[in-house]
A and B are shown apart, each in its own frame.
Chain A
Amino acid sequence: MTEPASDILSPNGCPEIRAVVFACRWCALVGADRAGKERMDLPASFRVIPVECAAGVEPDLVLRAFAEGLDGVAVMGCHLGGCRHNEANRSARLRLMLLQDLLEIIGLDRRRLLLSWGTAHEGYQFAGLMREFTAILTGLPPVDSRLLGPC
């Protein structure tokens, strides 16, 4: 028996996209705040989890997020050279790009893991990323019905 990816359907019947955004509180969270202050209109597909630094985002939890059925995970950190924690974002970037590679190896779309390094600081930047991310995820099939369940 295959399960639908999401119990929550939007009014037009399409499965609602659910993404989690790990936003570094030194830049990306500022972008989210600015998007709010400018009353930008964003899709309600994402939920933000503020983090102290993108380097603190555990790849294992990102995998867990996908395993629980989330369509996409975004990790937004500061631009390289601008990390408040002494270049910690460089190692985060390497780890998470490897995670993108790993998703791609088994055949999942690597764009499900969005990485932004300093490109979400302004309101319009954050808004643009969220809109594009949602559009991409909408075009992808749900994760777990393809990976799990009996063959």
Chain B
Amino acid sequence: MIQGQGNIMHNAVRDKVRLMLAGREVVGVLGLCGEKKGVVPHVFTTAEDTARLVLEPKWPLAKTGWIIARAFPEGEALGMVCRGCDVRAVEELVKAGQIRPGALKTIGVSCSAAQAEVCLCESPSVPGEEPVAGIDPMSMPAVRSLCLEPDRLDRWREHFSRCIKCYGCRNSCPICVCPACKLEDDAYVTTGTLPPDPLTFHLIRAMHLADRCVGCGACQESCPSGLPLLPLHLAVRNALRQREVSLNGAGSLSLMTAPGAEAGTLWEDTLGGRSNGRRRA
């Protein structure tokens, strides 16, 4: 992105924040604050303060915004300067009844094409802004080697063996907000073992997120062991898309009928085979 353009966007966003604060729509605006020591999340409450607002780096803020705003009483709201994935995450939180509609007012900022490559992102731009080309995660060699190559099980095994069960992925995920989490339940994930059994710890989470994941990458960013969690969850989204299920749609995996899930004949689906003719390559 050209420096000049960045400044224009920066100023435009800053103006929006000031407008939001001036209009008393929100108690504050969550965003990134540039300080001497670095960049930190910060709730801006005054116009003067917004001078310190920065838009880089990409930093998933939806979860933080939820933690702050979820307890707000009726009528109070928190603003949030964030990327497109955070905007989608807030929509998911509203759908899942985890936050009142309007309690988190987002000011979306588009990501660059370069950022999209890092995040394996299909839709880096926010609605209302100029479209930015995204990428198809399944076309990236790193993702393909993990999700399509024949020896991928060994690679996954090597990655999973480094998991230290810090729960960073779950804690940072804006979709993971359940008060009672199966990943802490010995009945599902055996406690007291390291590394945790990936079949339960990581795959249970992947199933729960399946159609609600917004691809923000917070999980992967927060992982101290560098587990490739983004490819895992994006691959699941891709699988759902191939089965013609609407992602981040009105319903969820519990929908009784999803388009494309029609049966061909009585004799289908045995032995986990690919007898569902609707499946695209």
Residues of A within 8 A of B (CB): 59-61, 63-64, 66-67, 79-81, 86-88, 90-91, 93-95, 97-102, 105-108, 110-119, 129, 132-133, 136, 143, 146-148, 150-151
Give the residues in chain A near B200, CB-CB below 8 Å. Answer: 60, 63-64, 67
**With A111-B271, A151-B161: A119-B243 Cβ-Cβ less than 8 Å:** no
A116 touches B207 (CB 8 A): no
Give the residues in chain A near B245, CB-CB below 8 Å. Answer: 94
* Contact with B258, one of A88, A94, A117 (Cβ below 8 angstroms): A94
5 residue pairs, one from A and one from B, having the closest CB atoms: A107-B153, A101-B239, A80-B263, A67-B199, A111-B272
| B26 in the interface (beta carbon within 8 A) | no
Enumerate B22-79 residues with CB–CB distance to A below 8 Å: none
B156 touches A106 (CB 8 A): yes
**Please, how many angstroms separate the alpha-carbon atoms of A87 and B262 in the complex?**
11
Give 6 A-B contacts (CB < 8 Å), ordered by A residue.
Answer: A99-B207, A102-B203, A114-B272, A133-B271, A146-B157, A147-B157
A98 touches B272 (CB 8 A): no
Scan B190-227; emit 1 where CB is below 8 A from any A CB, else 0. 10000101111001101100100000000000000000
Give the residues in chain A near B204, CB-CB below 8 Å. Answer: 60, 63
**Please, how many angstroms separate the alpha-carbon atoms of A133 and B270 in the complex?**
9
Q: In this complex, what residue of A is CB-closest to B148?
A: A105
Q: In this complex, what residue of A is CB-closest to B151?
A: A107
Interface centre among B154, B160, B271 (most CB of A within 10 A): B271
Q: In this complex, what residue of B is CB-closest to A79?
A: B266
